[in-house]
Chains A and B, each alone.
Chain A
Amino acid sequence: MGLESMLPEGFLTTTVDALISWSRKSSVWPMPLGISCCAIEMMAAGGPKYDIARFGSEVMRFTPRQCDLLIVAGTVTYKMSKVVRKIYDQMPDPKWVIAMGACTSSGGMYRTYSVVQGIDQFLPVDLYVAGCPPRPDNLLNALITIQNKIGKTKGHEFKNEIKPETAIINN
């Protein structure tokens, strides 16, 4: 605090990590992957009554390349799992994943041969949202929890790994 007394009024000091994580968590852009009924509740969370814009996440992008939060909202079948993984791979780092609803988290009531029993079998999941489907309040709670998680991150945790594609371009 010693430095601030020497600065003119209106200035404050902070760390770069805190500034970056604050700006990251204040505008999380979700990728809405609505593949069944949870998508309806996700849309309700985006509507005027629940209004996800209050938390800075109203910009639902329909391209994974502009997103940093993947909301998997719905039953993921084995056939769909390749698509979900591809969308996740296309998102730029840093990125987070919400598994919304019972089906996505554990297969839910679809305990059968065609449905993946939990997307954590092929994706790193940050947060599971309970419910079938979860209410929009529950999704907003999940978003706030993710924001708190992002707020605790530090810049050096996201060193860019050289991926096979970029290595080819560099050579």
Chain B
Amino acid sequence: MNDVMEEKILQKLKEKFPDEEFISETFRDELTITVNAGRIVDICRLLKNDAELLFKQCVDVTAVDWARKKKRFSVVYNLYSLEFNFRLRVKAFIENDEGSIDSVTSVWKSANWYEREAYDMLGVIFKNHPDLRRMYMPEEFEYHPLRKDFPLLGIPGSLPLPQK
């Protein structure tokens, strides 16, 4: 069942995007596909709307800081197909210097707050996001705490305390 679904996903993607490269790997029966960050919205729209895939649920959107790698950030989309009971992970490495990727809020509404969280914690900019504000940290905070170069104890004085 899983193998059939995996093949179907890759086949559909290659059919629709013939000039794109898709790297797929399976770990513990879970499929991960690495895609081109520039086409992420089109790819997500296909995964959601194709009648044989129907990844209607966006479980989570998050990002990974690879610190010393040339492409520093990758954005990870965890998707679930209710119709076919199949989980899929889509990865996209950000290639431009400003660290931005297109927002998928036009595909899944639920991605709104996930992308805000990834922006707050890692500083990944989601283009065309309707409301890209910080999620957890105060709005005047200047740093992104889950980046690898951020010290665990924070930067002294960056978060003001009330007067004693």
Residues A82 and B150 in contact, CB atoms below 8 Å apart? no
By a CB distance below 8 angstroms, the chain B residues around A65 are: none
Contact, CB under 8 Å: A81 / B151: no
Known contacts A78-B138, A78-B159; A113 and B154 CB within 8 A of each other? yes
In the complex, whether A123 has a CB less than 8 A from a CB of chain B is yes
Give min CB distance, A126 to chain B, whole Å: 14
Q: What residues of chain B lie closer than 8 Å to A124, measured between beta carbons?
A: 164
B23 within 8 A of A: no
Task: Answer yes or no: A50 CB below 8 A from chain B CBs.
Answer: no
- A113 and B138 within 8 A (CB): no
Interface check A5, CB cutoff 8 A? no
- What residues on A are CB-neighbors of B152 within 8 Å? 111-113
CA distance A114 to B163 in the complex (A): 18
Interface size on A, residues (CB 8 A): 15
Closest to B164 in A: A122
CB of A61 within 8 A of chain B? Answer: no
With known contacts A79-B138, A113-B145, A114-B145, A121–B153 Cβ distance under 8 A:
no
Q: Which residue of A lies closest to B152 (CB)?
A: A112
Taking CB atoms and an 8 Å cut-off, the chain B residues in 109-154 that contact chain A are 136-138, 145, 150-154
Partner of A85, one of B137, B138, B155, B162: B162
Instruction: Please determine whether A123 and B150 come into contact, CB atoms closer than 8 angstroms.
Output: no
How would you classify the secondary structure of chain B's contact residues: helix, strand, loop or mixed? loop
Q: Which residue of A lies closest to B159 (CB)?
A: A78
A-chain residues with CB within 8 Å of residue B159 when the two chains form the complex: 78, 113-114
Complex partner residue of B150 from A78, A113, A122, CB under 8 angstroms: A113
> Nearest A residue to B155 by beta-carbon distance?
A113
Cβ-Cβ contact count across A and B, 8 Å cutoff: 38
Residue of B nearest to A85 (CB): B162
Give the total of B residues in contact with A, Cβ under 8 Å.
15
> Chain A contacts of B138 at CB under 8 A?
78-79
Cβ of B4 under 8 Å from chain A: no
Contact A122:B145 (CB < 8 A) given known A113-B151, A113-B154:
no
The verdict on B1 contacting chain A, using a C-beta distance below 8 Å, is no
A143 at the interface (CB under 8 A from B): no
In the bound complex, how far is the Cα of B13 from the Cα of A164, in angstroms? 67
Contacts of B154 in A (CB 8 A): 112-114
Find B161's partner among A78, A111, A112, A114 (CB 8 Å cutoff): A78
User: Which 8 residue pairs spanning A and B have beta carbons closest together?
Assistant: A113-B154, A85-B162, A78-B159, A122-B161, A122-B162, A122-B164, A81-B161, A113-B145
Please name 6 further chain A to chain B contacts, defined as beta carbons within 8 Å, in addition to the given A85-B162, A113-B150, A113-B159, sorted by A numbering: A78-B161, A79-B138, A111-B152, A113-B152, A114-B154, A121-B164
- Select A122's contact among B151, B153, B155, B163, beta carbons within 8 Å: B163
Q: Any chain B CB within 8 A of the CB of A100?
A: no
Interface pair A121/B161, CB less than 8 Å apart: yes
A116 at the interface (CB under 8 A from B): yes
Minimum CB–CB distance from B56 to chain A (whole Å) comes to: 34
